[in-house]
Amino acid sequence: MKKSILPLGAVLVFAAGCGGGDTIEIGAQTYTETKIIAYMNEALIEAHTDLSADVTPDISASPMVISALEEDELDIGLLYSGEVFNNHFEVEETNDPDAVLQMAKEGFDEHFNFRWFDPLGFENTYIMTVRAELADEYGLETVSDVEAVADELSLGVDTTWLERDVDGYQSFVDHYGFSFANTNSMDINLVYSAVANEEVDIVLAYSTDPRLIEYDLVTLEDDQQFFPPFDASIVAKNETLEEYPELEEVLNTLTGMFDEQAITELSYEVDINNRSERDVAREYLEEQGLLD
């Protein structure tokens, strides 16, 4: 793989790789779960093939991963099915997870020559979450359950969600048929402590954020499927898979292995317990019997 430089907020240099036929380049975005999965793939490739692998972490966003794959700077990345709604190609407007996944598989194969693997088993999407004691008090398990008490609750959300059209607050109100007593916008990183400290009652959060565990928050099921699906999948260049067919089985190893709780707990080890992504990844693979 050729050497390249991409502007990712800071300068990022990709190491020389697949041009020599020996190294598979794996990219990971800035958030922890993508780096954990990348280091799992690195370990699996080196344990079960004659290839070496190298991880480039902290790529700023999914479009940069896609660009690096297109430019032969990466061979493998991790993307989420909702990526199809970012104007890469024409898609149907739907929140059905199976339909969105199929569009991702077909669209990225046709337009980018990427193989979109079956999901890893978790998604990272918007969720509504509350304190455990509030969920118990009002019997809250789904977003629809909130309707009976919404006029008593304050909502905390990130600063952009109140203004967004397709999947923002007003669309949520129209979809579910209720609104909250008041809304409070803040940085997404503040919503977890805000609800835990009873500054607000319910917040819009991310489904695999380890702070859900840290603050003992309860996720409410999006029972009317308002939020777009963002199922995580490994994505690889078809030409890399053709050159190294042994990668197919290795990359399928992690398919279906995680749910939101499992990946959140792994991220917790890194973000809260300050362990390295590589160590957490290898330990998990060893526990699953996938590494010696």
Residue 11 has pLDDT above 90, yes or no: no
212 touches 129 (CB < 8 A): yes
For the domain 4-123+229-287, what is the CATH code? 3.40.190.10
132 touches 218 (CB < 8 A): yes
Under the banding of pLDDT at 50, 70 and 90, the label for residue 45 is very high
pLDDT tens-digit readout, 134-148: 999 999 999 999 999
Q: Where are the domains of the chain?
A: 4-123+229-287, 126-220
CB contact set of 164 (below 8 Å; sequence gap of 6+): 171
pLDDT tens-digit readout, 239-276: 999 999 999 999 999 999 999 999 999 999 999 999 99
Q: Does the domain spanning 126-220 belong to CATH 3.40.190.120? A: yes
154 touches 218 (CB < 8 A): no
**CA separation for the pair 256, 280 (Å, rounded):** 19
